[in-house]
Amino acid sequence: VDLPLTLPEFEERAAGAIERGAFDYFAGGAGDEITLRDSVAAWQRLALRPRVLVDASRRSLEVTVLGRRRPHPLIVAPMAHQRLATPDGERATARAAVATQTPMCLATLASTGIDELAAAEPGLTRWFQVYVLRDRGATTALVEAAAAHGYEALVVTADVPVLGVRERDRRSRFETEEAQELPALRLLGREGRMIVGETASLFDPTVTWRDVERLASESPLPVLVKGILLAEDARRAVDHGAAGVVVSTHGGRQLDTVLASADALPPIVDEVGDEVDVLVDGGVRRGTDVLKGLALGARAVMVGRPVIWGLATGGAAGAQRVLELLLGELDNALALTGALHADGLDRSFVQHAPWANH
Ligand SMILES: Cc1cc2nc3c(=O)[nH]c(=O)nc-3n(C[C@H](O)[C@H](O)[C@H](O)COP(=O)(O)O)c2cc1C
């Protein structure tokens, strides 16, 4: 297959490959999309500080995440409705994840069931993203199903008490008209389909730290709180039993004009980085972005939209190529910065870039 060589080309091809409304759902952000754009730009505002002549013949991408040794620091971020990108949806993503030894986080609003994904790809290292639903019984059932089907962590999304203002979705008829597969709804005793615009009604706006505490104490799985942007919230997450946090703006899809994750990350690492795992996502488009995240203290880096562009362009093979491109670039960056080991990075490898002041 003739697959693109760079992530921007994947995005361009994806735009031509899927319906406009679906593309806008995947690509879009909240409000004026300032945080969406800055999520990419923030990594580019960091300059690298390479060390030379250090024998770059041996590199290692290995890191430790939630106490487990992993071959590299990438994780597929939870993203809803993946069948809008490719007919197999999350199953295609899972094949790409297995092929590249990348953990994948399945979304509550996935178009593939918790059990179905586990059965289709038993070799997948899988995590489950939890939305605390109005129906707490259904929330508990989802979390129990995840544990029963070999998911290794719960990622509790904290930045969606209500949905962000997403104007691209309002504009496209997509949001209002087409019902999407949502197998998780069967646990609420409903048909497993719903239009995207209605899914927001499932979320419980009363969600608080108590829910995190309950999930952390009731589930045998480690809980990561996703959508943390402040050091004091990271501290609260730890106080309420979290095993880690994901510094994230939800890909710029929730509150517009919040700091990009790359800028929010350092104070959070300073606050809790010695106690729990800090992960980061948002705007990671190059291996050098991954390296910068690690240098700022993240243990692992989640990748969102690029995986969707891979799926839309070439199904599982496309998503696999996207992950391979990022891993190849990371390996190259480890050689050229002289860092050599993904778990040996620190802030001395990055500095504020002078070009960012212009
Ligand atoms: C189409 C789409 C759907 C998403 N759905 C979810 C979701 O259901 N739950 C969640 O916690 N995050 C969701 N996210 C946010 C991602 O997990 C992640 O934080 C973000 O996409 C990372 O930014 P990036 O796309 O720039 O890599 C979604 C993101 C996209 C693009």
Give me ligand 1 centre to Cα 28, in Å: 10
The reported pLDDT for the residue numbered 256 is 98
The reported pLDDT for the residue numbered 1 is 64
Q: Please work out whether the CB of residue 283 comes within 6 Å of at least one atom of ligand 1.
A: yes
Which of 33, 79, 247 to mutate to test ligand 1, by most ligand atoms within 8 A of the CB atom?
A: 79
Give me ligand 1 centre to Cα 304, in Å: 6
The reported pLDDT for the residue numbered 129 is 98
The reported pLDDT for the residue numbered 347 is 98
Separation CA 164–CA 253 (nearest Å): 6
Give me ligand 1 centre to Cα 186, in Å: 23
Separation CA 256–CA 108 (nearest Å): 23
- As a 3-state breakdown, the chain gives helix, strand, coil percent values, each rounded to 5, of 45, 15, 35
Q: Please work out whether the CB of residue 284 comes within 6 Å of at least one atom of ligand 1.
A: yes
pLDDT in tens, 23-51: 999 999 999 999 999 999 999 999 999 99
Name 303's bridge partners.
Answer: 76
Whether the pTM exceeds 0.95: the reply is yes
The reported pLDDT for the residue numbered 185 is 87
The reported pLDDT for the residue numbered 14 is 98
CA 28, chain centre distance (Å) = 15
Residue with tokens 């943390």, as numbered in its chain: 228
pLDDT in tens, 334-347: 999 999 999 999 99
Q: Please work out whether the CB of residue 166 comes within 6 Å of at least one atom of ligand 1.
A: no
Is 250 tagged catalytic?
A: yes
The residues near 228 (Cβ < 8 Å, ≥ 6 apart) are 158, 234, 237, 245, 246, 247, 248, 268
The reported pLDDT for the residue numbered 328 is 98
Which one of 81, 149, 250, 352 is the catalytic residue? Answer: 250
Which residue ranges in the chain fall short of pLDDT 70? 1, 173-176
The reported pLDDT for the residue numbered 199 is 86
CA-wise closest residue to 241 among 281, 272, 265: 272
**Two structure tokens written together for 214:** 């309950």
Residue 105, SS3 per DSSP: strand
Residue with tokens 């599982």, as numbered in its chain: 316
- Residue 284 alpha carbon, nearest atom of ligand 1: 27
Task: Characterize the bridge pairing of strands 193-195 and 179-181.
Answer: antiparallel
Q: Please work out whether the CB of residue 164 comes within 6 Å of at least one atom of ligand 1.
A: no
Task: Characterize the bridge pairing of strands 74-76 and 63-65.
Answer: unpaired
The reported pLDDT for the residue numbered 179 is 87
CA-wise closest residue to 43 among 254, 299, 301: 301
